[in-house]
Structure 1
């Protein structure tokens, strides 16, 4: 091989090496920028955005409530200040599933699989746009139950559960006609009336998993 040829090969090799180093540096800088951008995005991420993903995917989870309850559920809907979920019933059990309305103030946390947890971190391509349902307050949802005359079980933060039918739902409390579980609101079945503040509720259970 002649001297000029050797020189050309040398320079080609050198430039190839420099190009490789430059490409590696650019890639490292891009990866660093992407990582920093992701850290900033996660830092701004709120719980509502993650719950929106989990509810949209009907993720199964265990809800931990402030009264000490651990409820296995399938997440369904998100409101202004509440979650809607369907109770998970063991396979073969002769117990009907039920819908649960959970005030956000009674939720201590959720247990779910790692894949679902990571999935809830995904970027919201809709820019956090809320659905009409997400604008519904707990009182609005309870007024719908009252309108449909659906029997409910009220799980309280303190004290025994209450069974009955919601007669009306106001801004921060409801009126409950108390009757036995499984009964309908007939005059001869009602044994009393109670005013219950929303702040006293850990969960509202409705048999049969109706939709909101």
Structure 2
């Protein structure tokens, strides 16, 4: 046996073992990184990839499925623009999302590490957004997790619930149009549709 060939074989074997070991460590590091990624962060990545609008289907806990683009992500909520009704917007607590369907390439892109945002939207809660709807006197359809829908105007929004004045869709919130009131816990909200035409500044 020639010694130079013997040492070449040893070097090749050692290099192969190092490559295999590095691949295992890289795989473990990636698994660890992915274990720390939240749904909110993945939705933020999709929101920043504006070209995905229309290719995402959101399945809500009430059984509704909407094809929509993500227009914003807050602390504990997501805003969507439905493809089929451009004049309306949808607001959903993250707990109201049952599943998100999207092409495989977008699924992989959404799992990439994102730059730390640290912006104001990171601190805007679902209740804060609802208090803006109170100020606007916006007409809404509140879709509950058990499958029912309530229409009306949000009168107040607390830390974990909202007060809804019930009235017909599209009607202005006046005392003679109100048919009742409901306190709705945020945990019972699957999603809310806001009709842009009903917004009064």
Q: TM-score, normalized by length of structure 2?
A: 0.80
Q: Pick from 113, 125, 132: which aligns with 1:123? A: 113
Q: Pick from 128, 134, 147: which aligns with 2:135? A: 147
Change (3 A) 1:125 1:16: farther
Distance in 1, Cα, partners of 2:147 & 2:111: 37
Q: Pick from 140, 147, 150: which aligns with 1:162? A: 150
Structure 1, 79-88 or 49-58: larger mean CA deviation = 49-58
Change (3 A) 1:84 1:71: same
Q: Which runs of 5+ in 2 are unaligned?
A: none
Matching of residues 1-212 of structure 1 within 5 Å: 27-58=19-50, 59=52, 60-89=55-84, 95-126=85-116, 129-158=117-146, 160-208=148-196
Q: Note the C-alpha offset of 1:70.
A: 1.4
The answer (yes or no) to whether the contact 2:90–2:192 under 8 Å persists in 1 is yes
Distance in 1, Cα, partners of 2:20 & 2:184: 59
Distance in 1, Cα, partners of 2:65 & 2:145: 13
Q: Which runs of 5+ in 1 are unaligned?
A: 1-9, 90-94
Q: Note the C-alpha offset of 1:31.
A: 3.8
Q: Note the C-alpha offset of 1:26.
A: 5.2
The answer (yes or no) to whether the contact 1:64–1:71 under 8 Å persists in 2 is yes
The answer (yes or no) to whether the contact 1:96–1:207 under 8 Å persists in 2 is no
Distance in 2, Cα, partners of 1:44 & 1:157: 27
Structure 1, 146-155 or 30-39: larger mean CA deviation = 30-39
Distance in 2, Cα, partners of 1:63 & 1:105: 12
The answer (yes or no) to whether the contact 2:40–2:94 under 8 Å persists in 1 is no
Change (3 A) 1:13 1:197: closer
Q: Deviations over 1:136-173 (max 9, x none)?
A: 22111100111111111111123531111111111222
Q: TM-score, normalized by length of structure 1?
A: 0.76
Structure 1, 25-34 or 103-112: larger mean CA deviation = 25-34
Change (3 A) 1:42 1:158: closer
Distance in 1, Cα, partners of 2:129 & 2:113: 29
Q: Note the C-alpha offset of 1:96.
A: 4.0
Distance in 1, Cα, partners of 2:38 & 2:184: 30
Change (3 A) 1:186 1:47: same
